[in-house]
Amino acid sequence: MANLDQTSVHRKVFTPWYDGETACFITMAAAAAVLLFAVVGIFVAYEDTASHDCAWVPVTLALMCLWVLLSVGVRLARRYIVRFNTRYSRR
């Protein structure tokens, strides 16, 4: 069930602050920075033969960052697709 603004005449759907576009873009930027950190960690872990056993840590971190980037990207894409369809389907 969508969150509807009960005070509005048009009953438009409101999104919470943590699901807004700005918060999604900030989340994606932070995840991209951590992904870069994880990729550097993967290269550093494979340079030294003694740290090959610990390479799973940056690999796991990189996979989790990719998952966050993918899920937030899909959320934003769906939002833009719905907005595009509602804007141009009324013509």
Structural contact between residues 62 and 42, judged by C-beta atoms closer than 8 angstroms? yes
d(CA 78, CA 74): 6
| pLDDT for 76 | 93
Cβ contacts of 62 within 8 Å, gap of 6 or more: 35, 38, 39, 42
- Taking only the tens of pLDDT, the chain with its 91 residues reads 456 555 656 666 667 777 789 999 999 999 999 999 999 999 999 998 888 899 999 999 999 999 999 999 999 999 889 888 887 876 5
pLDDT of residue 27: 96
Any residues with CB less than 8 A from the CB of 12 and at least 6 apart, and which? 4, 5
Cα 71 to Cα 46, 47, 55, 75, 79: the distances in Å are 29, 32, 25, 6, 12
